[in-house]
């Protein structure tokens, strides 16, 4: 028997130590939570992406009475970005969540399905996407979505 140990390095920053660009993107994600359509869970997620051309695009979760028909903030924002700016690589994504009258004390990691979609975006543009996960206490940063999705299934398997 052999064992493989996978490790993920996550950098943890106080917001004040983030770069100006990161702070701006986090602010955009936080603001986007307020336009979330989350009447069923009350859990409002905002996501903001920075494109190669400097543009910031925001999205949020969009729920539905038929629950699985809704969509998470992360997929909403990257699908919009790719639909409208198909040639602009996505450099960074920031994620924040607002629940019970406050921004969450714990970071919100993207769900499994969103990780898979974000991986596709990275692969599509052949460039790592930095992921900034905001909480009221700290910001978790990884330099690539691959850090959050080890042993992933991607396009290379289909060649």
Q: Is 155 a catalytic residue?
A: no
Segments in 2-153 forming alpha helices (H) = 20-33, 73-84, 112-125
Q: Which residue in 74, 88, 91, 122 is the catalytic one?
A: 74
Number of residues that bind ligand THU (CB under 6 A): 14
Distance CA 13, CA 97 (A): 17
Of the pair 53, 150, the CB lying nearest ligand THU is at 150
Smallest gap from Cβ 100 to ligand THU, in A, equals 13
Report the residue from 34, 111, 112, 155 that binds ligand THU according to the rule CB under 6 A.
111
Distance CA 102, CA 116 (A): 28
Segments in the chain forming alpha helices (H) = 20-33, 73-84, 112-125
Candidate segments 13-21, 84-92, 103-111, 130-138, binder of ligand THU by CB under 6 A = 103-111
* Enzyme catalytic residues: 74
């Amino acid at each position: 028997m052999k064992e493989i140990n996978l490790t993920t390095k996550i950098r943890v920053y106080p917001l004040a130590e983030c770069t100006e660009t990161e702070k701006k993107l986090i602010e955009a994600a936080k603001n986007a939570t307020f336009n979330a359509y989350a009447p069923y869970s009350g859990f409002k997620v905002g996501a903001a992406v920075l494109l190669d051309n400097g543009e910031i695009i925001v999205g949020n979760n969009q729920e539905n009475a038929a629950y699985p028909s809704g969509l998470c903030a992360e997929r909403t924002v990257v699908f919009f970005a790719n639909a409208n700016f198909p040639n602009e690589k996505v450099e960074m994504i920031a994620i924040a969540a607002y629940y019970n009258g406050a921004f969450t004390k714990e970071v919100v990691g993207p769900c499994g399905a969103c990780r898979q979609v974000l991986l596709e975006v990275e692969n599509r543009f052949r460039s790592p996407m930095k992921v900034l996960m905001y909480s009221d206490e700290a910001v978790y940063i990884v330099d690539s979505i691959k850090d959050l999705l080890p042993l992933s299934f991607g396009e290379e398997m289909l060649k």
